[in-house]
Chains A and B, each alone.
Chain A
Amino acid sequence: MSLRADLAAIAQAISPNTRVLDIGCGDGALLANLRDTKHVDARGMEIDGSCVERCVAQGLSVVQGDANRDLADYPDKGFDYTVLSQTLQTATRPDQMLDQLLRVGRQAFVSFPNFAHWRTRSALMLGGRMPVTRAIPVSWYETPNIHHVTVKDFRELAREKGAHIEREWFFSNGKPVSGGSNWRAEFAVFQLSRQ
Chain B
Amino acid sequence: MAGTSQELLLPQPLPLDGGGELARTVLAYETYGALNEDKSNAILLCHALTGDQYVASPHPVTGKPGWWERMVGPGKPIDTDRYHVICANVIGSCMGSSGPASEADDGKPYAMRFPVITIRDMVRALVGLLDELGIEKLHAVVGGSMGGMQALSLAANWPSRAERVLVIASTSRHSAQNIAFHELGRQAIMADPRWNGGDYYGGEAPDNGLAVARMAAHITYLSEEALTEKFGRNLQDREAKSFGFDADFQVESYLRYQGSGFTRRFDANSYLYITRAMDYFDLAEEHGGKLADAFAGTNARFCLVSFDSDWLYPTSESRHVVRALNAAGAAVSFVELSAPHGHDSFLLEVPALDRVVKGFLE
Contacts and interface: CB of A to CB of B under 8 A. Distances in A.
Contact of B337 (A43, A49, A62, A73): A49
Nearest to B334: A63
A75 to B, nearest CB: 6
Given A60-B333, A61-B332, A53 B356 contact: yes
Contacts of B37: none
A65 B334 contact: yes
Given A52-B335, A53-B335, A53-B355, A61 B329 contact: no
A60 B359 CA distance: 9
Interface residues of B, number: 23
Contacts of B362: 59
B359 A58 contact: yes
Contacts of A65: 319, 322, 334
Interface string A95-132: 00000000000000000000000000000000000000
B331 A49 contact: no
Contacts of A41: 331
A53 B329 contact: no
A57 B359 contact: yes
Contacts of A64: 334-336
Contact of A56 (B323, B338, B360): B360
Interface string B3-27: 0000000000000000000000000
| Residue of B327, B334, B356, B358 with most chain A CB atoms under a 10 A cut-off | B334
B82 to A, nearest CB: 15
Contact of B360 (A43, A49, A59): A59
B129 interface: no
A75 B327 contact: yes
A21 B334 CA distance: 15
B301 A49 contact: no
A56 B329 contact: no
Given A63-B322, A73-B326, A56 B336 contact: no
- Chain A's interface size range is 20 to 34
Interface residues of A: mostly helix, strand, loop or mixed?
mixed
B303 interface: yes
Interface string A8-31: 000000000000000000000000
B301 A56 contact: no
A74 B326 contact: yes
Interface in B347-362: 352, 355-356, 358-360, 362
Contact of A63 (B333, B337, B338, B355): B333
A49 B359 contact: no
B301 A61 contact: yes
Contacts of A63: 322, 326, 332-334
Nearest to B356: A56
Interface in B297-335: 301, 303, 319, 322-323, 326-327, 329, 331-335
A31 B300 CA distance: 19
Interface of B: 301, 303, 319, 322-323, 326-327, 329, 331-338, 352, 355-356, 358-360, 362
- A-B complex: 7 closest residue pairs judged by Cβ atoms: A57-B359, A61-B331, A73-B323, A52-B335, A63-B334, A56-B333, A64-B335
Interface of A: 41, 43, 49-50, 52-53, 55-65, 70, 73-75, 78
25 contacts: A43-B332, A49-B337, A52-B333, A52-B334, A53-B335, A53-B337, A53-B355, A53-B356, A55-B333, A56-B303, A56-B333, A56-B335, A57-B355, A58-B359, A59-B362, A62-B333, A62-B334, A63-B332, A64-B334, A65-B319, A65-B322, A73-B327, A75-B327, A78-B326, A78-B329
